[in-house]
Amino acid sequence: MALVDFSAPTGEFNADPYPTYSELRAAGPVHRIKGADGRPLWLVVGYEEARQALGHPLLCKNPSVYGDFDKALLGATSTNMLESDPPHHTRLRKLVSREFTPRRVEALRPRVQEVTDRLLDAMEAGPGRSCDLIPALALPVPMTVICELLGVPGLDRDRFHDWSSQIVSAPIGSLEQLGPVLEAMTTYLIGLLADKTEEPGDDLLSALIRTRDEDGDSLSSDELVGMAYLLLVAGHETTVNLISNGVRALLAHPEQLADLRADFDGLLDGAIEEMLRYDGPVENATIRFAAEDLVLGGVAIEAGASVVVSLASGDRDGERFPRPDTFDIRRATQGHLAFGHGIHFCLGAPLARMEARIAIRSLLERFPDLAAEPAAGPPQWIEGTLIRGVAQLPVRW
């Protein structure tokens, strides 16, 4: 099987990876690729195979056990749910789920609306009738909410977003490049957690420090760092791009936008799900490792191999979604992979959906003539193949 080079994606690929994924699916559901460090990996591009891989008991997440990496680079940030396997994953998820409840998420709704309205007020009161929607709305909504939920001081948020952006834009297989960023983030989180241990507040990190289950189990120091890292990075990066990708899709499909404006109550929930399927914020899931030899999509994968599941490709598979390259807010999107599948299904999915619904509806209601800025030029895409999105989104009204 030929080796597909994913070590340095081109600007053309980042702008529109879907034709490449379509060609790969036509040739087979699983392919050998070359990562950023030159090592071979397996890429899963078919929907059924992606769903199977995401829930496969022999495809594991803990790189310190299965991966061929320098373990010193991983540090405490890797001690989180996303990079762990049962029974450790089961234990971590149980402990954090006690605090990340649907009721606690729903209680954030008024605050999400308040933050959104304040940002839209600032847009409306600005010197012109145009702005970059990412720093104006798409970024500060989820960043403010997750930082307030976790108890991160306001002055630290820009610094944390800078670290986070470097992590999510790294190419597949480029862990070694992230050492300084992970070290800086770990040092910061250790200090933040120490402050909350001494002076706990009414926030999620303070609650996680205190939490115990019925057997008296609690999170260790490294596990607290890993949990804070995961919740802060995943808690805003994905939603930023859900909002911005969703707005881009609507502006590029004026008939769909008009339909949504005419019936927010009936179509908004389905529109958010189609935004997730059509151009979701996570292009490829983080690496999995084969604990034993296995067969996936008719392809033999050797023990110890690294496996990447393409959520973006799976959600454009015509075998699962008819007319997959068509944006249709009335589509039946059940089973899309934007939030993953199986035991690692995104814990923050309800919060991300709520933030996107509030931000996008409020934006479109406030600015009924919102449009892409025609003089903006071609978009600048986020580097790497983990997060799918643009660095700027110029709009006018």
Extents of the domains making up the chain: 3-396
Looking at residue 8, its pLDDT comes to 63
Please provide the average confidence, as pLDDT, over all residues in the chain: 89
| Residue 310: both structure tokens together | 């393409």
pLDDT at 40 > cutoff 60: yes
Which of 180-189, 263-272, 273-282 is the least confident region?
A: 180-189
Looking at residue 219, its pLDDT comes to 85
Looking at residue 173, its pLDDT comes to 57
CB 357 within 8 A of CB 256: no
CB 192 within 8 A of CB 80: no
Collapsing DSSP to helix, strand or coil, 41 comes out as strand
Collapsing DSSP to helix, strand or coil, 226 comes out as helix
Choose among 339, 346, 319, 321: nearest CA to 81.
Answer: 346
Looking at residue 175, its pLDDT comes to 60
Collapsing DSSP to helix, strand or coil, 66 comes out as helix
The predicted model gives 154-177 an average pLDDT of 76
For the stretch 71-86, pLDDT in tens is: 555 577 778 888 899 9
Q: Distance between CA atoms of 251 and 353, rounded to whole angstroms?
A: 19
pLDDT at 107 > cutoff 60: yes
Looking at residue 352, its pLDDT comes to 94
Of residues 182 and 312, more confidently modeled: 312
Q: What are phi and psi of 270, to 5 degrees?
A: -65, -35
The predicted model gives 16-28 an average pLDDT of 95
Does a cis peptide bond (omega within 30 degrees of 0) precede residue 140?
no
| Number of C-beta neighbours around residue 259 at 10 A | 17
pLDDT at 236 > cutoff 90: no
CATH of domain 3-396: 1.10.630.10
Looking at residue 377, its pLDDT comes to 86
pLDDT at 267 > cutoff 90: yes
Give one DSSP letter per residue of 70-103, joined into a string.
Answer: -HHHHTGGG-SGGG--TTHHHHHHHHHHTTS-HH
pLDDT at 38 > cutoff 80: no
pLDDT at 153 > cutoff 90: no
CB 390 within 8 A of CB 279: no
The predicted model gives 313-334 an average pLDDT of 97
Choose among 71, 55, 23: nearest CA to 307.
Answer: 55
Note every long-range contact of 189-194, with CB atoms under 8 Å and residues 24 or more positions apart, other chains counting.
189/76, 189/77, 189/225, 189/228, 189/229, 190/76, 190/221, 190/225, 192/152, 192/156, 192/228, 193/221, 193/224, 193/225, 193/228
pLDDT at 60 > cutoff 90: yes
Q: Distance between CA atoms of 157 and 142, rounded to whole angstroms?
A: 11
Helices assigned H by DSSP within the chain: 11-15, 18-27, 47-54, 63-66, 71-74, 88-97, 102-106, 109-124, 133, 140-150, 157-168, 179-198, 204-210, 221-252, 254-262, 264-279, 311-314, 349-366
Percentage above 90 pLDDT, the chain: 61
pLDDT at 345 > cutoff 80: yes
> Measured between alpha carbons, how far apart are the two ends of the chain, in Å?
51
Strand duo 306-309 + 40-44: pairing: parallel
Looking at residue 105, its pLDDT comes to 85
For the stretch 175-205, pLDDT in tens is: 666 778 888 889 999 999 999 999 999 888 9
| Residue 217: both structure tokens together | 């189990």
Of residues 170 and 302, more confidently modeled: 302
Strand duo 40-44 + 30-34: pairing: antiparallel
| Number of C-beta neighbours around residue 180 at 10 A | 10
CB 317 within 8 A of CB 25: yes
The predicted model gives 328-346 an average pLDDT of 96
| Residue 268: both structure tokens together | 């908004």
Per-residue pLDDT band at 329 (split at 50, 70, 90): very high
For the stretch 119-141, pLDDT in tens is: 999 999 988 899 999 999 999 99
pLDDT at 360 > cutoff 60: yes
Helices assigned H by DSSP within 130-220: 133, 140-150, 157-168, 179-198, 204-210
Collapsing DSSP to helix, strand or coil, 178 comes out as helix
Choose among 13, 47, 15, 23: nearest CA to 322.
Answer: 47
Looking at residue 310, its pLDDT comes to 97
Looking at residue 211, its pLDDT comes to 79
Give 20: exposed, middle or buried? Use CB within 10 Å, 0-12, 13-18, 19+: middle
For the stretch 285-301, pLDDT in tens is: 999 999 999 999 999 99
pLDDT at 273 > cutoff 90: yes
CB 45 within 8 A of CB 29: yes
pTM of the predicted model as reported, rounded to 2 decimal places: 0.92
The predicted model gives 12-34 an average pLDDT of 93
Looking at residue 66, its pLDDT comes to 58
Per-residue pLDDT band at 260 (split at 50, 70, 90): very high
